[in-house]
Structure 1
Amino acid sequence: MSNADNSVWPQLPIELWEEIVSLCAGSDLITLCKISKTFNSLTIRTFYREIDLQNPKQTIGCCRTLRRNSSAALSVRKFQMQLGSVPYYGFSAFYDTLQSALKAAVNIDTLHLHGLDEIPADCYFPNLRTFVCSVPYTSTTTAFLQHHSNIETLYLQSGQFYPHVISKIHLPYLVSFMGPSQVLSALIIGPSVHDALIGWQQDAGAGHFNTTLRALAPSSSSIERLGSSLVFWHPRLLPVIAHFFPNLLSLRLHAEAFDPDALNDGVEAGLAEMRQLRRLILSHPHSPPLTEEICDRDMKMLISWSSICPSLNSCHFPSGTTWLRIDSVVWVPTTFDFVVSDWWYKTVLFGSLDDILAESTWIQSAPCAVTMDDKRGLLVGIQRQLATSTGVAKPGL
C-alpha cells in the first residue's frame, strides 16, 4: 500500500479516486481508513457523506465523531435521524451532543429529523435544499425556516402544531411542499413549485381555502400535482382549487368522511374550470364493502365528470374503485375485486353499455369486434386484463 501511496496516487485525479472509493462497501471503507493515511481523509469524506441514524446509540456515537473530527463533519451532505419512542432527547447531554454535531456539519444539503421534541437551535446550513421533519412545529421551526431561504423541498409531518408561532417565511426556490395549511399560508414563494400536499385543520372552510391557496398562486403556471387532506369533505374545496390552478394535471383529495351528494356537486363545480386534469384521486381511509349499487353510482358520476372535463383519463373513488379511460367515451374499472368484476360482466353483457360501445372509436376499430356480442366480450376481457395487472383480488362476499 505504501508503494501505491507514493506512485499511483499522484498519477490519478482526486475526483477519480473519490469515484473509486465511493463504490466500496462500508466494511472496506473502514479498512481503508485504518491501513492507509493517504486514503484516510478521502475515505472519511465518502463514509460520512450520507448518514442514516436509526436509534439513539448510533446517533450519539456518530455525533461524537462529527464533533471531534472536522473532516468528517464537513463531509456530511445528507443527515437522516429516526429515533425510537423513548424520549432520549429529554436528556440535555444527548441534545447538546446532537446540536454541536449539526453545527459542525455546515455542508448538509439534505436534513431529515424525526423523533425530537424540537429542532436543534442555532444550526445553519447554507446549502440546505431538502428539509423533512416530524418535529413539533414551534417558534424554533419558524426561525429555522426563516434562516434557510434556499430550501427547495419542505416536508413537515408532525401532528403537533402551534399556530401562534407562525410568521412570514421566504422560500423563493421552493419546488415541493408537504405540511399544514397554516404553514403554507405563511410562505412567500416563487414560481417554481411543482407539487404540494396540504393538510387542513378540522374547521377549514372556503375562507381558509382561499387564503392558503393564494399563497401558492405565484406557482400557478408550474404546479402540476396537488394533494389535500381534510377531515370532512367540503364542496367548496375543489372549486377554489380549480380557480387558482386550472392547469393541474393530477389532483388528490383525501377526507375521513364523504357525503355522496356533496361530493358530486363539489366535483362537478370544480371540474368545469379544470382544463388539463388527467388524474383525480378521491381517497377515504375506510372504504365500505363494495356493492353493485356503489359501482352503478360511481360509473354514473364518472360519465358526468368526464363530459365536463374531457382531459380526465383516470379516477379513483372513495369507494375504492379505480377507473381508466380507454377512449373518449369508454371507462373501465381496474379494481381487482369479485364484486366489481361480476357487476361489470353483467352490466356489459346485459347491454347496458351498448350505446357507449357504438360510439367508441377504439372498440369500433378493433378487428375482432364485428358483432355487438364481440364488442361486449372485448370490453369484458379488457376489464379482466386491467384488473389482473393492478393488484391482488379482494375476497367476494
Structure 2
Amino acid sequence: MLARLVAPIFRLARGDHISGDSDYQDDEYDAGSTLEVTPSQDALSIGISTIVPEGARSEGSSEAGGDCLSCDIAALSSKDKDMSLCAEQKPASQPSVSELSLITSPGPQLPVELLYEIFVLADRQALATLALSSHTFHDISTRLLYRHIPFLSLPQSVRCLRTLSRNALLASYTLSFEIGDMDSLDLKRTGSVLGAFFGLLARAFRNMTRLTELSYLLFGPTSASLVDAPFKLTNLTASCDFDPSFATFLTEQRSLQTALFCGRYITGTSVDFNALPALNRVSASPLVLASVVPGRPVREVELCLVHPWLLNADILETTVQIMSYSKGPLRSLQIISHLTGPADIILNALAAVPKGLSGLEILALHAVSGSINNDLLVGLKPILAQFVSLKSLILISKNQYDAVHDHIITKTLASTWHAACASLECVSLPHATWVRNRKYGWVTLQDLERLLLEREQTLMNREKKVREREEVLDQEQRSLIEREHQLEAQIRELRLELGM
C-alpha cells in the first residue's frame, strides 16, 4: 500500500503528465495545466525563488518576468493550458487516474510527516516540480526549498533576496543561508555601485528569524547589512572586514558556537567582553583570535597564518599566550601555514605551543605550501615531550613528495613519538592513520580493521564450536534420559515378576 502511495509522488517529481481531473483545477494554480508544464532550466536552477506560497505573493509579481520565478512558470502554464498530449506522445510511465486519486482523494493518504520525510530525499528540481502539483505538496516543497539557500550567481541572488525581503513567511523557513563567492560584490572595489544590493540584503536578513547557519563571503566593509538582524546564529563563516560594525553584530549573536573569520582585521576593533558567551570553536588570524578567544569557552582553534613570515617564535608565542586565556579550556589547536622556511625556524616557532598550552589533546599542522621534511619530523620529538595530555597528532601536507608521504620514514614515527609523549594514542598522516592498541601496539586503521575482522572470525568459530559441543551434550543428555527411562521400566518389570 505504501509503495502505491509513494509511486505517483515520484512520477510527479519527474514531471510526468497526469491524466484525469484534479481536485485543484479551479484553484489559482490550475493543476490540470501546470502539471503538464516542466519549469524552465533557469527557473529550476535557482530553485529557492521559484515557489511562492498562496496568498503571500507580492504586488507586481503576477505578471511574467516578475521578481519571483513562480510568475514565469504561471505565465508559461497559462499559455499551454489548451495543449494536451496525444496517445502516441504520452510517456509509458505516467500515473493513472486511480494512482493520482491515492494522493488527491479524501480516501487513504500519507500523513504530512511521512510526506515530508519522502520529500527530503528529492533534489531541488524535483521539489520545484512537486510544488506545482497540489496545495499539500506546495507547502511541504516550499519549506524544503527555502530551508537551505546555497551560493547563487549575482542575478539569481538579487532575485532571491527580493522575494525574501517582500515575503516574511518564505524567509522564516530559511535555516541556512549562503551569500557571496562573487568578486563583483567586493565593496572596496565597487564603491557605492552595489549600495542598493546591500540594502536589499539587509531587508532580507530582517525577515530570516529562524536562521542558524550563515556563510557571508562578501569582502570588504560589508557587515552593516548584518547589524540588528533578528536571527540567532550557531554557525558563522564571514569574509567581511573585522571592523567595529562587525563587532557590533557579534555582540548580538549570543548563541554563536562555531565561527570562521576570513576577513581583514581593522586596527582598533574589539568585541565586548560579555559577547559570544557560547563560542567554543573558532578559526581566524592571530589578531582576530586576540579579540574573541580570551574569557570565552573556546575549546578548538584553527590558527590561520596566511603569510610564511607569520610562522615565527615571537608571533606564535604571543598568540599561544592569548589562547591560554580561553575558559574552555583549549583542547585542540590546528596551525595552518606555509612551511617554506628552514626546519629550525619552524621548530623554534612550534616549541612555543607546549609552553603555554601543555594541556592540549589534539595538535594539527597543515602545510598549505612547502614541505614537511625529515628534519622537521625528527625535531618534533622533544616538542611533543613537553605535552602532558596530548592524544592525537595530525600532519597534513599537499606536497606528495615530502617526508610525511614516505612510508619507510613514517613507519616508526608513531612509536618514536610515543616514547617521548606517553599519552599519545593517534598519529594521522596523509597516507595512513596510526592508533595505539594495548595488545598489538601501533597499527594503522586498515590493520586494526583486519585484526578486528580476524578477532570476529575467531569468536564466530569459537561460538560455532560451543554450539556444536552444546548439541553433543544435549544429545548425550537425551541418551542418558532415555537410558534412565529404560532402566526404570526394567525395574518395574522385575518388581512385577517378584511380586513386589
Relative to the length of structure 2, the TM-score reads 0.54
Deviation track 1:262-282 (CA, whole Å, cap 9, x = no partner) reads 8755651443333242x3234
Task: Give, in angstroms, the shift of residue 316 of structure 1.
Answer: 6.2
1:198 and 1:229 in contact (8 A); partners too: yes
- Alignment partner, residue 55 of structure 1: 153
- Alignment partner, residue 260 of structure 2: 155
* Residue 176 of structure 2, aligned match among 78, 90, 112: 78
Secondary structure class of the residue paired with 1:311: coil
In the alignment, structure 1 residue 307 sits paired with structure 2 residue 419:
yes
Secondary structure class of the residue paired with 2:179: strand
In the alignment, structure 1 residue 229 sits paired with structure 2 residue 336:
yes
- Alignment partner, residue 386 of structure 2: 272
In the alignment, structure 1 residue 67 sits paired with structure 2 residue 165:
yes
- Alignment partner, residue 167 of structure 1: 271
How many residues matched? 327
CA distance in 1, matches of 2:294, 2:141: 39
* Residue 219 of structure 1, aligned match among 328, 331, 342: 328
Calculate percent identity across the aligned residue pairs: 19
Secondary structure class of the residue paired with 2:233: coil
Cα distance change of structure 1 residues 180 and 299 upon mapping to structure 2, 3 Å threshold: same
Cα distance change of structure 1 residues 70 and 264 upon mapping to structure 2, 3 Å threshold: same
Deviation track 1:159-184 (CA, whole Å, cap 9, x = no partner) reads x3324223345222223221112222
CA distance in 2, matches of 1:162, 1:176: 22
2:265 and 2:287 in contact (8 A); partners too: no
Cα distance change of structure 1 residues 242 and 315 upon mapping to structure 2, 3 Å threshold: farther
Q: Which amino acid aligns with 1:49?
A: R
1:235 and 1:266 in contact (8 A); partners too: no
Q: Which amino acid aligns with 2:323?
A: L
1:247 and 1:275 in contact (8 A); partners too: yes
CA distance in 2, matches of 1:171, 1:14: 38
CA distance in 1, matches of 2:116, 2:428: 47
Task: Give, in angstroms, the shift of residue 194 of structure 1.
Answer: 4.6
Secondary structure class of the residue paired with 1:48: helix
CA distance in 1, matches of 2:125, 2:408: 59
- Alignment partner, residue 204 of structure 2: 101
CA distance in 1, matches of 2:127, 2:412: 61
CA distance in 1, matches of 2:240, 2:214: 12
- Alignment partner, residue 98 of structure 2: none
Q: What are structure 1's unaligned runs of at least 5 residues?
A: 335-361, 363-397
1:78 and 1:109 in contact (8 A); partners too: yes
Task: Give, in angstroms, the shift of residue 308 of structure 1.
Answer: 1.4
Task: Give, in angstroms, the shift of residue 110 of structure 1.
Answer: 0.6
CA distance in 2, matches of 1:186, 1:53: 29
CA distance in 1, matches of 2:149, 2:427: 39
* Residue 286 of structure 2, aligned match among 169, 177, 181: 181
Larger Rg: 2
Relative to the length of structure 1, the TM-score reads 0.66
Cα distance change of structure 1 residues 58 and 326 upon mapping to structure 2, 3 Å threshold: same
Deviation track 1:188-242 (CA, whole Å, cap 9, x = no partner) reads 57886453211247264354134322233x112xx54320134562525445346
Secondary structure class of the residue paired with 2:434: strand
Secondary structure class of the residue paired with 2:184: coil
2:146 and 2:174 in contact (8 A); partners too: yes
- Alignment partner, residue 208 of structure 1: 318
Cα distance change of structure 1 residues 104 and 186 upon mapping to structure 2, 3 Å threshold: same
Q: Which amino acid aligns with 2:424?
A: L
CA distance in 1, matches of 2:272, 2:394: 32
CA distance in 2, matches of 1:29, 1:322: 41
Secondary structure class of the residue paired with 2:204: helix
CA distance in 2, matches of 1:53, 1:44: 18
